[in-house]
A and B are shown apart, each in its own frame.
Chain A
Amino acid sequence: MLKEYWRFRGSLVPGLLASSFLLTLAFLLFLTLYSATSSGESIFQTLDARIITLLKFTLFQATLSTVLSVLFGTFLAWSLAHQSRFFARSFLIALFSSSLVLPTIIVVFGLITILGKNGWLNHLSNYLFGYSFEGFLYGLSGILIAHVYLNASFAARALLHSFESIPKERYKLAKSLNFSTFKRFKIIEFPAIKSTLLGISSTIFLLCFTSFAIVLILGGNPSYNTLEVAIYEAVKLDFDISMALELAFIQLSISIILVLVSSTLKTGVSNIKTQSLFIPWREPFYVGILQKVAIFLFGLFFILPLIAIISDGLNSDFIKIFSSSVFIKSFSTSIYIASISSVITVLFTILLASSKRNFALNYRLRKSFAGKFIAILISFSGMLYLAIPSLVLGLGFFLLSQRFTAPLVFWATFALLSANILMSLPFSLSVLYPSMLKTAKRYDKLCFSLGISGYKRWIYCEWPYLKESIGYILALSFCLSLGDLGVISLFGSQDFSTLPWYLYGLMGSYKNSDAAGVALVLLVLVLSIFILVPKLFSKGSVVKDR
């Protein structure tokens, strides 16, 4: 068996080293958090009413957000699948794809502009009906709206591919058997989307459970706080590190359980292109109308905040914004941190995926018993972020910065880079790993028999087939890093700031015009990178069967 392992050392060892590095980092942070707890009490002995309330609300909002997002997302994907000729369908799908990388803070900014107390909707209502409603956006409703905005579109995008993968013959058979629309969904469509639905639900639940920026800004008051926001407040506002630690441990325990439960499910993130396939089923008139209205309304709900950001942003004084030293600092910090972390993410993803695939392939180490354990360990190291949410991670680095004297910039950079890499890894792995597995399944035998290995294999066999996915994960991790408001909220200051943190500061000090300008810069930056980088990489790609 060792001989077999030795044969694949080239792909096995680097991946195992990368995995060990990530696990060691997580373990060190855990030790830091653990050693900082002064009392030897178990956290479960100190659970007070406030913590239980926090925990209940965190779970409640995550569950409700997931249910609503999945319901809306499924309905939208179903509608899009059956309305292949809907006006601007491709444009809408492309926009929904970007929901994963849209910085939450600009989504919140856009939603406030539309649905806030002084928002467009209120103005319209006032103009049309003379009725002005109070701010319904702050509190649970706001949290749910923002979560549905981001996650329903993400779910729709992933589910649409499942709908389009259903063989057309099944539809023809169902039609010939005179199935109703409901029966068709129950017997043909639901079984086909079920597994994707499960994976997406678990991803959305984890994202909502650890949601930070949305709850921080739209939560409104302490009764709508989640664990993440409570950790932030304990560190930054109350200076109560022991409370922060207590919350961090609870957050950590629940996240680990959730990750372990959902580790076998897919995240639902992919760079698979939908093909706008025509489904051979003419919808009854009223069903067709319902589907068109659903696409139109959700499209409007999704586009309006983006239009609001663009229209408000264009009215900003960009000369003033661009000449501000804090903006320049924030912009350059964001770019260099996102660049470094995206490159490292891609590297780690390749190493972890090429190591892990050894244990899934027939002509490699699939039969190895120890391999199963190693594969789980590699998967876990790639999913660490979901188990250790950014605020908990940030708290660990924050404590390290208190213990070991070094310039704040050092700790902040290190914390941001680590958080960004860990945050992007679960998504980038779920994109690249299936592609790497597919390439190896196709060409392993050929490469082994011809003795093509090492760099030669990479140049001729892997890169041409993987470069499109690599471009996608590079863009994805860059955008995720660019828009994060998690760890920076613990380290952000006048001296060290990123664009989202700068925007948060502007929003907090009611400098709305400047905030609109910065939000527009962030939006343009994220969308350009997310659209252009994968295009750059897809030039000359040989992947035809996606």
Chain B
Amino acid sequence: MLKIDKIIYKYKDESIYNFSMQAKKGEIVGIVGASGNGKSTLLDLISGFLAPTSGHITFDGFEITNLPPEKRPATILFQNYNLFEHLSVEKNILLGINSSSKKDDLKKIYQILDEVGLKGFEKKIVSTLSGGQQQRVSLARSLLRDKPILLLDEPFTGLDFDTRVYMLKLVKKITKTKQICTIMVTHELDDCKQIADKIYEVKNKKLTQLWV
């Protein structure tokens, strides 16, 4: 279980963020709220890009508050710049995993690309893919990294309706089958309602549970 326990973060303009929440394995937690209220700050704190002023973040009882991003049990998907556009799909995914043997890695890549509906795209250069396909590649890499926490920072904003619905279903399926904690930040309450097990709202830089 991911537990965020009284995390306080003071921004340089002296605004204070105050977060507490929990997410179980196999659960999707939606975070909604207006822009500038701290939705992305929460994900930055969980993923280790920002260090909290006080409080604790634990996963399965282990303290992860002070771990650097690459050592945290979390993988994150951003709205933009998830991939190196000049590299192939295969190379982009390879960069995210700790290689044991290249043959094994490639086998895993083919499997995961099949899972996200991108079979046969391995050698394609990322810049030639559509926005939806690029996000699926990013998701594939996140999944292959085998981290128990999946953080989604408005990853489907800008995608067309059909692709967004497809991606949401995919995230739900993966969360349930792999039993990971998924935290999805979005400003689309409808997206959350479709797949989230519980929804929090960030208001006045604090988290309030909206719906279970």
Partner of A542 from B68, B80, B86, B145 at Cβ < 8 Å: B86
Closest B residue to A441 by beta carbon equals: B81
Question: Once bound together, how far apart are the Cα atoms of A67 and B87, in whole Å?
Answer: 48
Query: Cβ of B81: which chain A residues have Cβ within 8 Å of it?
Result: 442-443, 445-446
- Interface flag for B166 (CB, 8 Å): no
- Whether the Cβ atoms of B84 and A460 lie closer than 8 Å is yes
Question: Once bound together, how far apart are the Cα atoms of A448 and B145, in whole Å?
Answer: 14
Partner of B87 from A367, A449, A460 at Cβ < 8 Å: A460
Question: Once bound together, how far apart are the Cα atoms of A460 and B87, in whole Å?
Answer: 8
- Interface flag for B76 (CB, 8 Å): yes
- Whether the Cβ atoms of A449 and B47 lie closer than 8 Å is yes
- Whether the Cβ atoms of B70 and A450 lie closer than 8 Å is yes
User: How many contacts between A and B, using CB within 8 angstroms?
Assistant: 51
Question: Once bound together, how far apart are the Cα atoms of A452 and B91, in whole Å?
Answer: 13
- Whether the Cβ atoms of B49 and A363 lie closer than 8 Å is yes
Query: Cβ of B87: which chain A residues have Cβ within 8 Å of it?
Result: 460
How many interface residues does chain B have, given as a range? 20 to 34
Closest B residue to A448 by beta carbon equals: B69
- Interface flag for B110 (CB, 8 Å): no
* B-contacting residues, A420-472, CB 8 Å: 442-443, 445-446, 448-452, 456, 460-461, 464
Closest A residue to B43 by beta carbon equals: A445
- Interface flag for B12 (CB, 8 Å): yes
Closest A residue to B98 by beta carbon equals: A451
Mask for B70-92, Cβ within 8 A of A = 1, else 0? 11001110101110111100010
Closest A residue to B11 by beta carbon equals: A367
- Interface flag for B118 (CB, 8 Å): no
- Whether the Cβ atoms of B95 and A445 lie closer than 8 Å is no
- Whether the Cβ atoms of A542 and B85 lie closer than 8 Å is yes
Mask for B104-132, Cβ within 8 A of A = 1, else 0? 00000000000000000000000100000
Closest A residue to B50 by beta carbon equals: A363
- Whether the Cβ atoms of A7 and B78 lie closer than 8 Å is no
Minimum Cβ distance to chain A for residue B85 (Å): 6
- Whether the Cβ atoms of B69 and A449 lie closer than 8 Å is yes
Which DSSP category, helix, strand, loop or mixed, fits chain B's interface?
loop
Question: Once bound together, how far apart are the Cα atoms of A542 and B85, in whole Å?
Answer: 8
Query: Cβ of A456: which chain B residues have Cβ within 8 Å of it?
Result: 95
Query: Cβ of A451: which chain B residues have Cβ within 8 Å of it?
Result: 69-71
- Whether the Cβ atoms of A448 and B68 lie closer than 8 Å is yes
- Interface flag for B36 (CB, 8 Å): no
Name, among A4, A450, A451, A464, the residue most crowded by chain B CB atoms within 10 Å (CB to CB).
A450
Question: Once bound together, how far apart are the Cα atoms of A464 and B71, in whole Å?
Answer: 26
Query: Cβ of B127: which chain A residues have Cβ within 8 Å of it?
Result: 542
Minimum Cβ distance to chain A for residue B104 (Å): 19
Q: If the complex has contacts A445-B78, A446-B81, A448-B69, are A464 and B47 also in contact, measured as CB distance less than 8 A? A: no
- Whether the Cβ atoms of A446 and B78 lie closer than 8 Å is yes
Query: Cβ of A443: which chain B residues have Cβ within 8 Å of it?
Result: 81, 84
Minimum Cβ distance to chain A for residue B117 (Å): 23
Query: Cβ of B49: which chain A residues have Cβ within 8 Å of it?
Result: 363, 445, 448-449
- Whether the Cβ atoms of A450 and B95 lie closer than 8 Å is yes
Q: If the complex has contacts A7-B68, A363-B50, A442-B81, are A452 and B75 also in contact, measured as CB distance less than 8 A? A: no
Minimum Cβ distance to chain A for residue B52 (Å): 13
Closest A residue to B85 by beta carbon equals: A542
- Whether the Cβ atoms of B82 and A446 lie closer than 8 Å is yes
Query: Cβ of B78: which chain A residues have Cβ within 8 Å of it?
Result: 445-446
- Whether the Cβ atoms of B76 and A445 lie closer than 8 Å is yes
Mask for A79-93, Cβ within 8 A of B = 1, else 0? 000000000000000
Minimum Cβ distance to chain A for residue B137 (Å): 13
- Whether the Cβ atoms of B12 and A448 lie closer than 8 Å is no
- Whether the Cβ atoms of B50 and A460 lie closer than 8 Å is no
Closest A residue to B87 by beta carbon equals: A460
- Whether the Cβ atoms of A452 and B68 lie closer than 8 Å is no
Closest A residue to B92 by beta carbon equals: A460
Question: Once bound together, how far apart are the Cα atoms of A452 and B48, in whole Å?
Answer: 15
Query: Cβ of B50: which chain A residues have Cβ within 8 Å of it?
Result: 363
Minimum Cβ distance to chain B for residue A437 (Å): 14
Question: Once bound together, how far apart are the Cα atoms of A445 and B85, in whole Å?
Answer: 16
Q: If the complex has contacts A442-B81, A443-B81, are A460 and B95 also in contact, measured as CB distance less than 8 A? A: yes
- Interface flag for B158 (CB, 8 Å): no
Q: If the complex has contacts A363-B49, A460-B95, are A449 and B84 also in contact, measured as CB distance less than 8 A? A: no
Query: Cβ of A464: which chain B residues have Cβ within 8 Å of it?
Result: 84, 86
- Whether the Cβ atoms of B76 and A449 lie closer than 8 Å is yes
- Interface flag for B96 (CB, 8 Å): yes
Closest B residue to A4 by beta carbon equals: B51
Question: Once bound together, how far apart are the Cα atoms of A442 and B127, in whole Å?
Answer: 16
Query: Cβ of B70: which chain A residues have Cβ within 8 Å of it?
Result: 448-451
Query: Cβ of B85: which chain A residues have Cβ within 8 Å of it?
Result: 542
- Whether the Cβ atoms of A450 and B96 lie closer than 8 Å is yes
Question: Once bound together, how far apart are the Cα atoms of A91 and B96, in whole Å?
Answer: 45
Query: Cβ of A452: which chain B residues have Cβ within 8 Å of it?
Result: 95
Minimum Cβ distance to chain B for residue A18 (Å): 26
Question: Once bound together, how far apart are the Cα atoms of A461 and B82, in whole Å?
Answer: 12
Question: Once bound together, how far apart are the Cα atoms of A446 and B49, in whole Å?
Answer: 10
Question: Once bound together, how far apart are the Cα atoms of A7 and B49, in whole Å?
Answer: 12
Query: Cβ of B84: which chain A residues have Cβ within 8 Å of it?
Result: 443, 460-461, 464
Q: If the complex has contacts A7-B68, A363-B49, A367-B12, are A449 and B75 also in contact, measured as CB distance less than 8 A? A: yes
Question: Once bound together, how far apart are the Cα atoms of A461 and B87, in whole Å?
Answer: 10
Closest B residue to A366 by beta carbon equals: B12
Question: Once bound together, how far apart are the Cα atoms of A460 and B74, in whole Å?
Answer: 22
Question: Once bound together, how far apart are the Cα atoms of A452 and B8, in whole Å?
Answer: 29
Minimum Cβ distance to chain A for residue B206 (Å): 22
Minimum Cβ distance to chain B for residue A362 (Å): 8
Question: Once bound together, how far apart are the Cα atoms of A335 and B55, in whole Å?
Answer: 61
Question: Once bound together, how far apart are the Cα atoms of A79 and B145, in whole Å?
Answer: 55
Closest B residue to A363 by beta carbon equals: B49
Closest A residue to B78 by beta carbon equals: A445
Query: Cβ of A460: which chain B residues have Cβ within 8 Å of it?
Result: 84, 87, 91, 95
Query: Cβ of B68: which chain A residues have Cβ within 8 Å of it?
Result: 7, 448
Provide 8 A-B residue pairs closer than 8 Å at the C-beta atoms, listed in order of the A residue: A4-B51, A445-B47, A445-B76, A446-B82, A449-B75, A452-B95, A460-B84, A540-B86
Across chains A and B, which 7 residue pairs bring their CB atoms closest together, nearest first? A451-B70, A542-B86, A448-B69, A363-B49, A442-B81, A450-B96, A449-B69
13 further contact pairs, Cβ within 8 A, besides A460-B84, A542-B86: A4-B51, A363-B49, A442-B80, A443-B84, A445-B69, A445-B76, A446-B81, A446-B82, A449-B69, A449-B74, A449-B76, A450-B95, A542-B85
